[in-house]
């Protein structure tokens, strides 16, 4: 099994200053529009400013000069500085498990990967890949010690707690990811890859600044998340966002998830292969990429992509009606589908909208983070934990003991 490894800072010592990112491929971005930017959506409430004598008199019924009141208002509205990474600051270990490949990265606050390893999945079952990944996580822990404050895992499946209860595309059921926890006191977070990509886009990408963002990712099937005020709507058990298993498809088709008529089966490489009269592909994502690439010169391939675009648009329209976002973002294969058959996608989306929405539908925007979005989202989820009251208390105790 071949692995790719890159380091921005091989030393990892508490006093080491990370070198430029070099081969690290997670984009370095400032914390903004997230709970990590104390002036953006989802930020912690600003502490009430202390009143001066003149302002206190006004608060108690006195008549402070207007310019003083205006100055106080400007101070109250001024954004607090964005949090940034410190050379000895906390890191998150993020893990991304795709249909063909895996990635493990140590990421600092702000999104820069200081260490990254990747490789192909060693086999179809979970045991082999978990064995490889637990070794990579342990290596990151050995390199950075207690600076590594959380492990955040993204999987193409349905997560409940630290277990993937179902990953239809991978053929996994009830897989515990506890083997990736490097120490009992290190938080382990497990999430759906599409939902984490949506978290990244809403906070740092195409959805930044919007109050309600609907994110859709087309990979093997389609998934996503609704983000409101910078926070994902995860549902009662954390398993929300399985949009691909809504019955927007042909009820005669049975999905690997056990349901019939799933939207998943209408938008990816499996759907395109059916239109072309081809057998079900072993790797639907690679097949979809091939067909999308051929669509510019092959009319049959373009028809297959257009059919997927119409299905994607119909489902997106239904979700807009149900969830009322003010922006829709699209990642994975979605932007490629839109580039080939954007007119079909737009017509299907508008046709599915309630009439009052058609004059000003929410914009459908391609991802600005591209293939990095899932890792960035996993890092965002990890730092939500690290920067919680409990996480900060644990970090303070660690720093005091070093």
pLDDT band per the 50, 70, 90 thresholds, residue 15: very low
pLDDT tier at 28, thresholds 50, 70, 90: very low
Q: Give the pLDDT mean for 91-116.
A: 90
* pLDDT at residue 51, as a whole number: 23
As beta bridge partners, residue 117 has 5, 104
Between 269 and 57, name the one with better pLDDT.
269
Element (H, E) at 199: helix 193-204
Residue in this structure with the two tokens 């059919």, named with its chain if needed: 307
Q: What is the pLDDT of residue 402?
A: 66
Contacts of 402 (CB under 8 A, 6+ apart): 14, 146
User: Span 8-17, mean pLDDT?
Assistant: 40
Residue 155 pLDDT > 90: yes
Looking only at the bridges linking them, the beta strands covering 101-108 and 113-120 are antiparallel
Give the pLDDT score at 31: 37
pLDDT band with cut points at 50, 70 and 90 for residue 123:
confident
Q: Are 214 and 327 in contact (CB under 8 A)?
A: yes
Residue 197: what are its φ and ψ, rounded to 5°? -60, -40
Rounded CA gap, 222 and 331, in Å? 10
**Residue 100: which of 286, 337, 353, 318 has the closest Cα?**
286
Distance CA 379, CA 95 (A): 9
Q: Does pLDDT of 48 surpass 50?
A: no
Q: What is the pLDDT of residue 241?
A: 86
The pLDDT-based confidence of 169 (bands split at 50, 70, 90) is: confident
The answer, yes or no, to whether residue 7 has pLDDT greater than 80, is no
Nearby residues of 152 by Cβ (< 8 Å), 6 or more positions away:
92, 93, 94, 95, 189, 190, 191, 196, 378, 379, 381, 382, 385
Alpha carbon distance, N-terminus to C-terminus of the chain? 38
Check residue 164 and give its pLDDT.
92
Q: What is the pLDDT of residue 157?
A: 87
Mean pLDDT of 372-379: 92
Pairing of strands 148-155, 91-97: parallel
* pLDDT surpassing 90 at residue 30: no
What tokens does 174 get?
A: 């009830």
Q: What's the rounded Cα separation, in Å, for the pair 317 and 238?
A: 24
Query: What per-residue confidence (pLDDT) applies to 312?
Result: 97
- Indicate yes or no: pTM above 0.85: no
Q: How confident is the model at residue 27 (pLDDT cuts 50, 70, 90)?
A: very low
Identify whether the C-beta of residue 379 lies closer than 8 Å to the C-beta of residue 94.
yes
Task: Reply yes or no on whether the pLDDT at 71 is more than 80.
Answer: no
């Amino acid at each position: 099994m071949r692995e790719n490894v890159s380091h921005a800072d091989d030393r990892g010592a508490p006093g080491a200053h990370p070198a430029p990112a070099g081969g690290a491929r997670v984009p370095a971005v400032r914390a903004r529009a997230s709970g990590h930017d104390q002036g953006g959506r989802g930020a912690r409430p600003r502490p009430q400013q202390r009143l001066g004598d003149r302002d206190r008199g006004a608060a108690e019924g006195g008549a402070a000069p207007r310019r003083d009141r205006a100055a106080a208002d400007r101070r109250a509205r001024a954004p607090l500085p964005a949090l940034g990474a410190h050379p000895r600051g906390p890191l998150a270990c993020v893990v991304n498990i795709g249909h063909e490949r895996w990635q493990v990265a140590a990421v600092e606050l702000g999104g820069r990967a200081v260490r990254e390893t990747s490789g192909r999945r060693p086999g179809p079952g979970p045991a082999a890949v978990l064995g490889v990944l637990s070794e990579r996580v342990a290596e990151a822990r050995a390199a950075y010690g207690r600076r590594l404050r959380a492990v955040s895992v993204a999987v193409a499946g349905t997560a409940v707690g630290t277990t993937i209860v179902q990953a239809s595309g991978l053929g996994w059921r009830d897989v515990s990811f506890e083997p990736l926890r490097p120490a009992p006191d290190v938080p382990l977070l497990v999430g759906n890859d599409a939902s984490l990509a949506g978290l990244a886009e809403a906070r740092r990408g195409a959805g930044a600044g919007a109050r309600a963002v609907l994110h859709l990712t087309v990979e093997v099937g389609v998934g996503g998340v609704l983000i409101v005020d910078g926070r994902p709507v995860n549902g009662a058990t954390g398993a929300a966002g399985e949009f691909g298993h809504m019955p927007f498809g042909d009820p005669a088709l049975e999905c690997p998830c056990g349901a019939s008529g799933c939207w998943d089966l209408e938008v990816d490489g499996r759907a395109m292969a059916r239109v072309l009269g081809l057998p079900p592909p072993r790797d639907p994502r690679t097949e979809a990429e091939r067909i999308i690439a051929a669509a510019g010169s092959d009319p049959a391939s373009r028809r297959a992509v257009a059919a997927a675009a119409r299905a994607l648009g119909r489902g997106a329209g239904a979700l807009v009606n149900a969830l009322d976002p003010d922006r829709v973002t699209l990642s994975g294969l979605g932007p490629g589908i839109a580039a080939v058959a954007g007119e079909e996608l737009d017509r299907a989306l508008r046709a599915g909208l309630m009439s009052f929405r058609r004059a000003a539908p929410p914009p459908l925007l391609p991802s600005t983070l591209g293939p990095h979005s899932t890792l960035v989202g996993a890092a965002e989820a990890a730092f939500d934990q690290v920067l919680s009251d409990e996480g900060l208390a644990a970090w303070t105790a660690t720093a005091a003991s070093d």
